[in-house]
Structure 1
């Protein structure tokens, strides 16, 4: 299915289609001026007259309505927040440039708990599950609590820190007030008297369909793709970066962010949708103002079904690295603003912890956002090394990997050959 999706043509945006009323007005104007290719608006045959045929405006598809709903701030309790507010197309469908944690809620002042992950390249995530070795994988959101794009689209609409709809009737009322609600009902096959649940389900389905069908969410148009197709070449630094990225003794990045296509696919997705506890530094946010609060990923607080699995505390889903140069801030808690620091953190988390964690009374507070009881869950192995060892990556390696990661940004254009 993914292969069909990312080659599909982008549907024309809803707002570029002329309305039925506009089409009628244009035809009337042409008739009055004798336009329309030299014909007239009506003909007379045998004493009867018939109006010129007016082409019907094509019905909007569910995906096209999802495009419109994705941009719709009226769906939020504050009237200020849309899906597109936190999943900005120019930023790889992730957080807006210069942002920290998104603001939402009923009045637009409540800070979200986590950064907004990119909405791109999610088609292969699948439902959350455990593999034969008991390792978690799949699912959407940082903690995998949504098993499909439909579940994911529903979540923010009712999250008190995001679009903050109190319940289904509240959201349904907002949907009924939209000027295109009849189009939504028609596309979903609903009657005029659709119930609240039916209308909300239609809106959520439209949002999911838009993201699944529109090529913007899986374009595969980066320089990396052009190189794989033989249409471009890496610079020397980019190639060194890819080599370090793949090297299991240095970056070892490809062990989680696959740089080769999965079996049966033609494109690499740069994630295996696995989960890891990385021990990223604690951020300064509304939530962490309470020193007793910890975001523990798979075991809470935003999902509760795994609360008893202490072996999963601190684990978060591995995102795709496609468009990573655009999607700052980084990690689930937005604790890093620069991609260079992210790569350097992997290389020096354990060998130079004072670089990343606070020092109190001469003591480094390493892994300060993960309680000591769960630190056995921390990811080990390359590129992480023990204290006293040399970093797995040199400063040059870090710069090279960042240069390579920049080749994963969509929208690359191959320059024409010089004359």
Structure 2
């Protein structure tokens, strides 16, 4: 069970919800021991070279190991990414005995509790970093590497792959061997399932167990056909089996399965219900311990760029109207040889800003993905909690339970034209005539 006073862990840090620093290191040690048992001689030699280099206690450079530091919050230690531009600063805040290197993940952990008696050190000049010799107590950059031309933090998948698969799908590293399948997906397919497109270093053991896990997921007819040694959802003590702080149910709406998430107390504010179509997002919500209120879950979904509906429960029928939905102007048509310029981009930004700051802009924030990221530049997250626009019964989407005719939920939804506007779509002349 996760303690309710345990702070949220940082995304992609590798620390699981409710996991203290001792449990984290114990879990990593156990995982590394299993990896070492099946490690090839060549892999062991390469890893030993990394260990020998780490023994020098030099600050990792741009292409070196990743650095995490353990930060105290509400009496608990939370593992946070150092951010490569901040490695010099973080490194000097800890002593040599407070730094721990993981050769399997190529990561450093900086934690005072590893040796409370050790003293912080200053940065030496013989490391492999890009330190320029200036006073190392410079103002910290944000802990995540992000482009300077965006106000929205770019959250890159910095978590270990096995942790990412755990949060989204319930995968756990098997302690014992599991039956092999004749057909399993390739690793590049596994990365796409997770949403990680770039190549990531994965040990052969982890590669084999993860591809086997997804092989079972793709072939299984029910949950019992997946070995429990691979599947956290089949463990009795799994996070997903603990009592959730919110009410959840499944229902077919508009011919599609939705996961309906609401506060347990009906009189809580704001009065909206979360509708999700992604089972993996529900698993992540439970495994990460999002909550306890519906507002907290909505905030986490927005930060992760996950599409959802923040709908109101209403049985009213659609209001018939002759009025046309607000039109914010599309980007129009361009000649074949047209080349966009700065003025074109400024026009696009102005049109986006006009739409996103209207009542209907809230729908883009809920859309997730690239649309949600664009919306976060212009819309405060609090807009979601105000509920759908005032004309939702005229222009919104009604959700009707299968076999019934009365609407159950209403919410705003983007039109195709609005999506094209936000994505910067304009038509190009081809010089050809279409004949009917």
TM-score band, normalised by shorter chain: under 0.3
Q: 1 or 2, which has the higher strand percentage?
A: 2
Give the TM-score, by structure 1 length.
0.25
Give the TM-score, by structure 2 length.
0.24
Instruction: Report which structure shows greater RCO (CA 8 Å, sep ≥6).
Output: 1
